[in-house]
A and B are shown apart, each in its own frame.
Chain A
Amino acid sequence: MKLRGRVWKFPQNDINTGLIRKQMYNHLPPEEQGKHCMEALDPTFAAKVKPGDFIVAGTNFGCGSSTPAHYSIVALGIPAIVAESFGPLFFSNCVGGALWPILCPGILGLVETGDTLEIDTDTFEVRNPASGKTLQGEALPEIYCNMIQAGGEKPYLKARLAREARS
């Protein structure tokens, strides 16, 4: 699948989950957490971003608490985050929430905020169509791809249980 969207860049390293979505909003329904997304770093972000846009981030994005901060990103309709690297817990939280976490060393040099970015979720190639430059992201393991492509944990499990019942 090919995704194409506009970039919002957060180049700082070690942006922890408490900065992605403050812990004080943890109790809100997931859909309502969007308006607080990245509030600590850019209070206007949630109002500016459009469904289909991407977040591009630095090293160790989503480190720290295992709190489901990805809810706030999913709620805004952002389908993918491309980062130099991810905090491991946030990374797997994204997968469960059907949000593509694309590990792509060098991404900070490929695009700026406002640029268009193309992501091929089959080959994990990431491309800036304006400059024509591409980078090779790291492939996700098959089980994670299956889960995201199914639409998250529940549809993945539904299909898996049905398959296992047949065999």
Chain B
Amino acid sequence: MAGMHALHKILTKCARPPQKSVSLGEFLEIEPDVFGVIVGVNGTEAKRLAADLEELGIKDLPLRERIFAVSDHASPAPTVAIAAAQKLWREFLKSHRIRTFDGGAGVSHLVLCEEGLVRPGMLAIAIDSHAPTMGAIGMYAASLGGGRLTLYAIGRYVIEVPKVTLVRVTGKLQPGVLGRDASLYVNGRLGQRGAYNNAVEFAGPFIDALSMDMRFTFANMGTEMGAVTSYIQPDDITLDWVNKHGNCEYTVYETDPDFKYDSVHEVDVSKIGPQIAVPHAPDDVKPVDEVAGRRVDQAYIGSCASGRLDDIAEAARVLQGRKVHPDVRLIVTAGSREVLKAATALGYIQTLHEANAIVTSANCGACPGLHGGILGPGDVAVTSITRNFEGRMGPGGEIYLASPATVAASAIEGRIANPLQYR
């Protein structure tokens, strides 16, 4: 292999045994720096995992001090069955002395970043298809597929060394158009398989100028291009954020100048208006005006894609002095407790309450359709979540993906609305 990507350098370090280089498509056994897990919703899995480890004779987990659990899906428990399952998971985690962030902490991959438990240059395997969100800080963040027992028992995981797709985003947004609009536009341009089975790197002057909140949004939505991990090269903005969140040691890996990307996409966002992904695909993206007027039953702001402070600030700005339409329920779920505390201190949460929004604790919320705003059959939702697959927020529901400003404007009007009129 000629030049190496920063992600590949991270892989060489974590390969067991460590390697000097890696080949694209090679299946590597690696030891992650961090293993991210959740307080699960399936009790049978918890019991089986405990029994399997016992049967294998594993008493001390090799990665124990580097395993972190977060209760984010269906938390607090919405049903008796899930409450019972979460109890079994808590007992399992406690029995192995695994550090656990329980309900209200937020979405796992945001919590791990904010707590400084993952840092630039690290490799984390974490449960959740949106774990690549953490790549916004310049690390290798991959979602756990099969292999959970192996990680618990022997601390190893198999990764196929990915090719890398480069998405260079250029241009300055029109006033009132948001980072999430740009992210939706990029997803529409690349398509649901635009970075299929590859890593995706976001770069270019637009990304360089983005806040960390919006970089998390871009990294998050790499998953919806079929990418196995997302990456943004750390710069001063990253390191400033990282230093405020943990102030620990980190390593910034650089991509070699002669590294050959699998493909390079240039996307100019300077002319776009607010964007919306229509049911049932996150890449079926159109200008909001094309579907403006569609009835809305539920508006939802949150998730690991758009549950950051920037997102809640935009929603509060639109809702300031206005009320949610009486036929609409607007639900707002911060991505983490840190975000919720900051939004409270800045008065955004009060603004949302005054507008008659439903404000919840920080978690995955309604996004995976488990609690906190499940759609009924025929319900139409406009939301800032990660993906709008058929039935995701509840069987028979229709999901439109948009920026928090578009969601807020639509909540006011009771129909999908362009937020530029609320500037």
Contacts and interface: CB of A to CB of B under 8 A. Distances in A.
B144 interface: yes
A65 B226 contact: no
B129 A66 contact: yes
Give the interface size class of chain B: 35 or more
Contacts of A161: 56-57, 153-154
Interface string B120-134: 000000011100000
Interface string A87-111: 1111111111100000000000000
Interface stretch (A3-11, A13-21, A45-53, A121-129): A13-21
Contacts of B3: none
Contacts of A29: 42, 44
A59 B144 CA distance: 21
Chain A interface mostly? helix
B272 interface: no
Contacts of B45: 30, 68
Interface stretch (B260-268, B388-396, B400-408): B388-396
A72 to B, nearest CB: 12
B386 to A, nearest CB: 9
A26 interface: yes
Contacts of B52: 154
Given A65-B368, A90-B145, A154 B56 contact: yes
B192 A14 contact: yes
A85 B129 contact: no
Interface of A: 14, 16, 18-19, 22-24, 26-30, 40, 59-60, 63-66, 68, 85, 87-97, 141, 143-144, 153-154, 156-158, 160-161
Given A23-B368, A40-B390, A60-B193, 16 more contacts: A14-B192, A18-B391, A19-B391, A24-B369, A27-B41, A28-B44, A63-B226, A64-B387, A65-B129, A66-B144, A92-B145, A93-B146, A96-B145, A96-B149, A153-B146, A156-B150
6 contacts: A88-B160, A88-B226, A94-B146, A96-B148, A153-B150, A157-B150
